[in-house]
Amino acid sequence: MIAAVTLLITGSGAAYAEGAHFVPEATDVNWDGSVATVTFREVDVALETEETTISVRVTADVYAVCDQGPSTVQIHRMGTSLQANDYPIGEDGVVEGTARVPLRVAGLQLPGYTCQVTWVSVVAYLEDFWTGATLVRRAGEVSI
């Protein structure tokens, strides 16, 4: 956040650095049901500060089937969480980081029913506030 404040105060024109971009092949998204872990690499970052601010928004889309005797209920729930942090810019213009974003999806259990998750999709949206670089990365869809 220090980088953000510095740029706002100084009015630097370095924001939206041309050429800066996230590397899709170096981005990974995992979710354990309570925390999403997103690793990333941004390259060609040329700012007048030593760090940049990157936001990571993660959305989990979950389907479950719940049974109670002959009764079956299908549930679809989503959860989204957002986190923004400062990350150091290497001398080579590379920003590498790992964001751990708390994310829980509520409502996947019904009282008196036995519920099982059947399908999960997790997507991470990255944005560098100062370079303008963005990336959408899907962790993949998992049928369970």
CATH code at position 82: 2.60.40
What is the domain extent for residue 82? 2-143
Question: What pLDDT was estimated at residue 17?
Answer: 64
Torsion-angle region of residue 102: left (phi > 0), alpha (psi -120 to 50) or beta?
A: beta
Q: Is the pLDDT of residue 5 over 50?
A: no
- Per-residue pLDDT band for 38 (boundaries 50, 70, 90) equals very high
Encode pLDDT of 73-122 as tens digits: 999 999 999 999 999 999 999 999 999 999 999 999 999 999 999 999 99
122: which residues sit within 8 A by CB, 6+ positions away?
A: 29, 30, 31, 36, 58, 59, 60, 61, 138, 139, 140
Domain count for the chain: 1
- Token representation of residue 80: 């989204």
Strands 35-43 and 28-31, how do they pair? antiparallel
